Amino acid sequence: MTVHIGAAPGQIAETVLMPGDPYRARWAAETYLQDVELVNEVRGMLGFTGTWKGNRVTIHGSGMGMPSLSIYANELIKDYGAKTLIRIGSCGGMQEKVKIRDVILAMTASSLSTPSAGIFKELNFAPCADFGLLAAAHAAATAKGTPTHAGGIYSSDVFYDERPDLNEQMTRHGILGVEMEAAELYNLAHRYGCRALAILTVSDHLQTGEALPSEDREKSFGDMVEIALEAAFA
């Protein structure tokens, strides 16, 4: 048990999928895992452990934003021995070729700042995904026929952004989508020698203004969860 996770020793698997929304964690666990056990509900942040094709998996919410994810990822890695962490979440599309419900595999995650900035100081560290996970996820997505894009994303500090100039430059430089957690996840994975990948479903679009209704988002994320599970155990 830690400050933010109430699981007992041995209740967290080495492979952890991390959606931002704790209710999405419950939906994914009940939909895709067998023998599911609730292992955390401290502060309403739900975590579940079960099996997928005989492999132990934990699906644990991260909350919104890098500071929240950093808390849970640190404790999952340092106190519970997590070795593979895959973010499964939504993002906003930033390129015309990226469509609503498409999947993005984040090779890199740019940011203005992260909770790790105090460690790096003047260094602009470039966090990236684990290549083995990335390659396996791409293969799984291709086999499923899921429209998928691999490339750079932007992890924002804020949801209600008022920097159209910055969005314009990121679009100009090929950034595929924007979310709020992956850069810090990648920083922590590099720091502690873990594997990490962000697999994201495009739920809205900065260029077209399209957006999925909230009730449709959960139903549209099945491909992303399946790709994450296939990649983790490839």
64 is in an annotated binding site: no
Calculate the CA 109 to chain-centre distance.
11
Given the residues 21, 204, 216, 223, the one annotated as active site:
204
Cβ atoms of residues 184 and 157 within 8 Å: no
d(CA 108, CA 3): 30
205 is in an annotated binding site: no
217 is in an annotated binding site: no
24 is in an annotated binding site: yes
203 is in an annotated binding site: yes
> In whole angstroms, how far apart are CA 216 and each of 17, 92, 108?
21, 15, 28
Q: Which residue has the tokens 């920097």?
A: 163
**Are β-strands 195-205 and 47-52 bridged in parallel, bridged antiparallel, or unpaired?**
unpaired
122 is in an annotated binding site: no
d(CA 204, CA 141): 20
Q: Is 204 among the residues known to form the active site?
A: yes
87 is in an annotated binding site: yes
Cβ atoms of residues 155 and 111 within 8 Å: yes
89 is in an annotated binding site: yes
Residues labelled catalytic = 204
Could you tell me which residues are annotated as the binding site for phosphate? 20, 24, 43, 87-90
Positions at the binding site for a purine D-ribonucleoside: 4, 179-181, 203-204
Residues annotated within a binding site? 4, 20, 24, 43, 87-90, 179-181, 203-204
